[in-house]
Structure 1
Amino acid sequence: MTLKAFISGCSGAFLNDAERRFFAEHRPCGLILFARNCETPDQIRALVAAFREAVGSEQVLVLIDQEGGRVQRLRPPHWRNMPPARCYGHLYEKDRGAGKAAAFAGARLIAQELHALGINVNCTPVLDVPEKGAHEIIGDRAFSDDPEVVAVLGRAVMDGTLAGGVLPVIKHVPGHGRARADSHLSLPCIEADARDLEAIDFRPFHALRDAPLAMTAHVLLPCYDERRPATTSPVIMREVIRGTIGLEGLVMSDDIGMQALRGPYADRAREVIDAGCDVVLHCSGDFAEMLDTARATPPLEGLAAERFARARSFLHAPEPFDETEAMALVSEAAGSPVA
């Protein structure tokens, strides 16, 4: 049976009977984990195994947001507390080689933890370029306000993640850095013109256009589409994300449960696919929303299936690395020992 073109959340640390039946029937191509799903290493491994068993496939993706800083679903005592991306940017400003090495090392250490749990996708690096006065939702999650630095360190994180046997997701294409609102709560409108967007916001994404996976931004860019946010805009998907930026990999939506999007969940899912996104992401674990999303989502086929297979082809056994050296590099960027 074919997988469906959506990634789902679940409600807790273990699958309940309804969720098992849901995953067996609708067969999402991925599962995304949040803090509510993560208690101990053994519990997460059991949850991941139960999802794969219910779907009946080892080809599925298991995702998490483990950026470091404010956005990390796994925390002490079982997992390291990692610094935010901006720490690597600050170190890069002082010593470019050290900054790149630390960003790679941080990603490699996180990938080591995820791989051990059966998690094969980390939703990082953030390639957004913050603008002065923008909402703090991005803030120190960004490496720098210089697009060239963002591209260099984003590449280092992408490479470190892949070296650890985990797939990276570049986000939030085509750029959330200028937003003056949090798209979890409302739809940001970015009034910049196309020339400025191409010169700054799009540059890191273009530099990493070979990334296996990407996630959209729920932002309105009136210079391209006055009505629809990037996630549901065929114009932005075709002309900007696949065209100007030139992304080659699988593109998933950001969470369709965010308040930047409107309407019933079935409509949101259909709009995402109709716009040209390959995969719908739904995160809340709310069962009624999961059903509506699944019923409106098509099978993963055609170009989307090809991109999914290509993304999975990047997965390989983790490469050897010196964990002690990596910890020292990250601690230098953080300004204190990482535990």
Structure 2
Amino acid sequence: MTCRALILGCSGTHLTAGEAAFFRDVRPWGFILFKRNIGSPDAVRALTASLRETVGRADAPILIDQEGGRVQRMGPPHWPKYPAGARFGRLNGSARAMAWLGARLMAHDLAAVGINVDCAPMLDVPVEGTHDIIGDRAYAQDADSVAEIGRAVAEGLMAGGVLPVIKHIPGHGRATSDSHFHLPVVDADRASLEATDFRPFRALADMPLAMSAHVVYPHLDPKRPATLSRIVIDDIIRGAIGFDGLLMSDDLSMKALKGAYRRRSEQAFAAGIDVVLHCNGLMRQMRGVVAGAPVLDGEPLRRAEAALARLTENAESFDVAEARSRFEAGLSVAA
């Protein structure tokens, strides 16, 4: 069944009649949920089932940002609160094992309500004096530790039947502004970026999905953010980093990008993005994004199918109660 190269959001905890009709007509590849979409576990299960019904695909990707800390769309009272990424970096010898376990538990929570993709791990490497949009979301301050913990998170998610999305490729850690509101510019030369920022992404280039950064790197492309830059996507993401999985944009509704939504969509695809993401569920904006989006075919379709094929690659059952107890005990040693 054909679909469009889109991941779209919806407005609330259930689909409106207008949204259902729109999604049936548009047939996006996938959907994304935010806190506004999260009710009880039963309500989330009903919503994910409704979304998949509109496109007629039982394995349609349904994404969420579930990192822990500040970025956790599903939380108390129905789901546990998970720590920010930096907590794992302080665990020293047990960082990798605990990051895997936390991600495996998150995957259990997500899969139980029909969510099969998590926009994690975040592989950005922060530097002194940058914007706190990354802050304690970062696993560590050095690239090798970020890569090691990030791989543990990715593998923990996949062990629970949830696909990871590495973000924000090729690196958001040096940004001095928040791309939700402004277009960040990272004025580091390529050698510096290669030595630090690109390293975790290169180490996890075998992952199925990645999310682009709305960041300008003047020493790579002086005019366009990575999401809209053929130079960055071809030379850096596909070339130097070696990522051949499905490349999705960050949210096209973020204020880092300017102009009409159709144009944003067209520019992203022209640059080499495989699938565009629009998150806020505003119908007027979504119509513009849809107007600039092609049917998913060719290499993007191959990458999408390869990603979904990994959904059951490592999924396995485990003792949830025992794992939660072990996770809480392990975290207690962190500062």
Conserved? CA contact 2:91–2:333, under 8 Å: no
Deviations 1:249-293 (A, max 9, x none): 100000000011010000001111110010000001001111111
**Corresponding residue SS for 2:2:** coil
2:130 to 134, 143, 156: 134
Deviations 1:177-228 (A, max 9, x none): 0000000000000000000000000000000000000001100000010000
Distance change >3 Å, CA 11–CA 226, structure 1 → 2: same
1:186 to 182, 195, 203: 182
Aligned pair 1:150/2:146, yes or no?
A: yes
Ranges of 4+ aligned residues in structure 1 off by more than 6 Å: none
**1:328 Cα shift?**
4.0
The amino acid across from 2:233 in the alignment is: M
- Residue correspondence of structure 1 range 1-339 to structure 2 within 5 A: 1-92=1-92, 95=93, 98-316=94-312, 318-332=315-329, 334-335=331-332
**1:325 Cα shift?**
4.5
CA distance in 2, matches of 1:266, 1:122: 26
**1:54 Cα shift?**
1.0
Tell me the TM-score normalized by structure 2.
0.97
**Corresponding residue SS for 2:187:** coil
CA-based RMSD = 1.3
CA distance in 1, matches of 2:133, 2:327: 23
**1:334 Cα shift?**
3.7
CA distance in 2, matches of 1:78, 1:109: 14
Percent identity between the two aligned chains? 51
CA distance in 2, matches of 1:114, 1:336: 27
**1:332 Cα shift?**
4.3
**1:323 Cα shift?**
2.8
Conserved? CA contact 1:63–1:121, under 8 Å: yes
Conserved? CA contact 1:103–1:330, under 8 Å: no
Deviations 1:39-75 (A, max 9, x none): 1111111111111111122231000000000000001
Tell me the TM-score normalized by structure 1.
0.96
The amino acid across from 1:303 in the alignment is: E
Conserved? CA contact 1:61–1:120, under 8 Å: yes
CA distance in 1, matches of 2:333, 2:319: 19
CA distance in 2, matches of 1:201, 1:170: 13
Conserved? CA contact 2:2–2:296, under 8 Å: yes
CA distance in 2, matches of 1:14, 1:324: 30
**1:320 Cα shift?**
2.5
CA distance in 2, matches of 1:28, 1:62: 11
Distance change >3 Å, CA 63–CA 294, structure 1 → 2: same
Conserved? CA contact 1:52–1:60, under 8 Å: yes
**Corresponding residue SS for 1:32:** strand
Moved more, 53-62 or 131-140: 53-62
CA distance in 2, matches of 1:254, 1:163: 25
CA distance in 1, matches of 2:327, 2:84: 10
Deviations 1:137-195 (A, max 9, x none): 00111101110000000010000000000000000000000000000000000000000
CA distance in 2, matches of 1:242, 1:328: 41
